[in-house]
Amino acid sequence: MARTGPTAVARRVLIWLGVIFLVLTGLLAGGTVWGNASWVPKLALDLEGGTQMILTPEVTGDKEITEEQLQQAVQIIRQRVDGSGVSEAEITTQSGDNVVVSLPGIPSAETRQLIQTSAELQFRPVLKVGNGAPVPENQRTPEDQLPTPSAEPTGASDTNWIDADLLKEYEALDCTGKAANAPVEDKPLDQAVVSCDPSTGAKYILGPVEVQGDLIADASFGQVQNTTGASLGQWAVNIDFNNEGSAKFEQVTSRLVSLDGVRNQFAIVLDGKVISAPQTNSVISNGDAQITGGFTEETARALSEQLKYGALPISFEIQSENQISATLGEDQLRSGLLAGAIGLLLVVVYSLLQYRALGFVTVASLVVAGVMTYLAICILGWTENYRLSLAGVAGLIVAIGQTADSFIVYFERIRDELRDGRGLVSAVENGWRRAKQTVLASKAVNLLAAIVLYFVAVGNVRGFAFTLGLTAVADLIVVFMFTHPTLQMLARTRFFGGGHKLSGLDPERLGVVPLYRGGGKFRNTVERTPPKSGKNAAAAGEAGRRQTIAERRMAEETERHDSMAGSSKGSEREDN
């Protein structure tokens, strides 16, 4: 029969915490052996240095680039090289017409390609749609049943585009999770291709390109209106084609509107990814197309900006490339780590002075939280290209105080319960029930602040917010899975349970004295009459400061009652 007491539960929780550490360590070890992971965190541009590239935009024809279009290009490049916002890349404009890209380390060939190429917008007809997960090998179409087109395709929507090789590629394609956002090689415009929609996880077989993005004159978003001009409360994206685009789009919609099923759809493809695949409801002859269907204001704005940028035929040439040293260097990093070490030392000294041996639980909890955060940073550096900047180091330093604050709240709740007359085992359980609500509320505020800061900021500030949020999660895990179970077990030891003077739970130091309840029983209560000198005076003063209003009133009433009783006895003696 499984044990369900607090000690047994505490052991199981500690075992699960050990399992989490084993999983994190094993994952990182596997990454170092079979991947490009490292036991050392990746450093950002300000600490490691990297590569700075100055890009000059190239345009076709006699078109000129506006400041707005250049800013859109900067946003696209930032999304490409720093999609998660934690690799600490810096992308800015220079002299109003150049783009400066500063990346940590040495950029790969793929990254260079992403930076230089323009956002290529295409309209392709849909031939097949399916679930984004790759088809298991034992369920894929057998070789003897693979399609073998008997004739050359006669149009972009002709299913004869789907041959054996294309269907194999489609069934093996993985459009789930991160795989959906993997870079895509340039595909021939006059051939059918497979593609993913990262927003829905669907995968497609698409026909050849029929309309290219440079034929879009403008794109906007707004609410759908009826014939009288009244808003229908539905968001839409509006596309305006130029003359050539209008003629081509009319031909496409004239064909698609007569087709059934998924072949009635056309896919809008940006950088090889499907960003929308609307159905064709009517022939668009005037070049003004409108896309509707489940948009919010934010999603409609995002799609319109993608379409607008896709209409800009920009590519970039690397004008110059230089290796740059760390902007802050080892001295600043050393100073930051020294500041963190001093802060940590002060927290440890305070904990040991204030809580005696109980302070070692704080120290152990900080060590556990630190190791967990370190492993997480290394794993995120491997999987998400997270890089630790000086701002991130500052987030770790701030987290020391926030983490210690959780333990202090818990310890003080336990002390309050002891002053109320409970034994240590009961005080730990009741103190935890009261403390965990405060801890959860505090960490919820920290996480909310980190999330808001992450989404409204860029660059180093996002790194700071990310680190702050990561440490808040680690703090919660440690408090719930290490600190509380550890105290549950320590409460049953003679050293802590007996209130040893060095335990931090000494009744005398807490201002608690045993009072006789009758029947051979005693209970602990706050000492009412403070001693006048010595260590007991300091303990009683500490107890007095920590009394609740109700406790103070009770003590005052008791003192008044005792005083009146003493006066009454004195009067009786005089009468006698």
- pLDDT tens-digit readout, 560-571: 665 665 555 555
Is the whole-model pTM more than 0.85? no
Rg over alpha carbons for the chain, rounded to the nearest Å, is 34
C-alpha–C-alpha distance, residues 276 and 268, integer Å: 5
More confident residue, 120 or 203: 203
C-alpha–C-alpha distance, residues 325 and 60, integer Å: 36
Backbone angles phi, psi at 33, to 5 degrees: -85, -45
Question: Residue 298 has what pLDDT?
Answer: 80
DSSP string, 264-278: GBEEEEETTEEEE--
- pLDDT tens-digit readout, 305-341: 777 765 545 667 778 888 877 766 667 777 878 888 8
Residue 457 DSSP symbol? -
Our CA angle for 510, 513, 516, nearest 5°, is 155
Query: pLDDT grade, residue 208 (50/70/90)?
Result: very high
Amino acid at 544: G
Question: Residue 59 has what pLDDT?
Answer: 66
- pLDDT tens-digit readout, 37-65: 899 988 887 777 888 888 887 765 666 77
Query: pLDDT grade, residue 23 (50/70/90)?
Result: very high
Q: Answer yes or no: are the C-beta atoms of 266 and 277 closer than 8 Å.
A: yes
Segment 406-434 shows an average pLDDT of: 86
C-alpha–C-alpha distance, residues 386 and 397, integer Å: 18
**Lowest mean pLDDT across 60-64, 101-105, 167-171:** 60-64
Q: Answer yes or no: are the C-beta atoms of 99 and 93 closer than 8 Å.
A: yes
Distances (CA, A) of 236 to 241, 246, 262, 384: 16, 19, 21, 33
Q: Which tokens is 111 given?
A: 């990254």
Amino acid at 323: Q
Amino acid at 264: N
Say how many C-beta atoms besides its own lie within 10 A of residue 145's C-beta. Answer: 10
Distances (CA, A) of 294 to 195, 425, 452: 22, 56, 26
C-alpha–C-alpha distance, residues 393 and 463, integer Å: 9
Amino acid at 439: V
Query: pLDDT grade, residue 188 (50/70/90)?
Result: confident
Amino acid at 502: L
Does pLDDT of 211 surpass 80?
yes
C-alpha–C-alpha distance, residues 212 and 427, integer Å: 71
Question: Residue 25 has what pLDDT?
Answer: 94
Helices 390-419 and 359-383: crossing angle in degrees, nearest 10, is: 150
C-alpha–C-alpha distance, residues 207 and 57, integer Å: 31
Segment 369-391 shows an average pLDDT of: 88
- Residues contacting residue 473 through CB under 8 Å, at least 6 positions apart: 447
Question: Residue 406 has what pLDDT?
Answer: 87
Segment 253-278 shows an average pLDDT of: 89
Q: Which tokens is 120 given?
A: 């290529």
Q: Which tokens is 332 given?
A: 């600043």
More confident residue, 179 or 250: 250
Segment 290-315 shows an average pLDDT of: 72
Our CA angle for 203, 205, 206, nearest 5°, is 120
More confident residue, 155 or 84: 155
Closest CA to 505 of 437, 571, 441, 412: 412
Closest CA to 105 of 53, 43, 41: 43
Cα 384 off chain centre by: 11
Sign (positive/negative) of CA torsion 424, 425, 429, 432?
positive
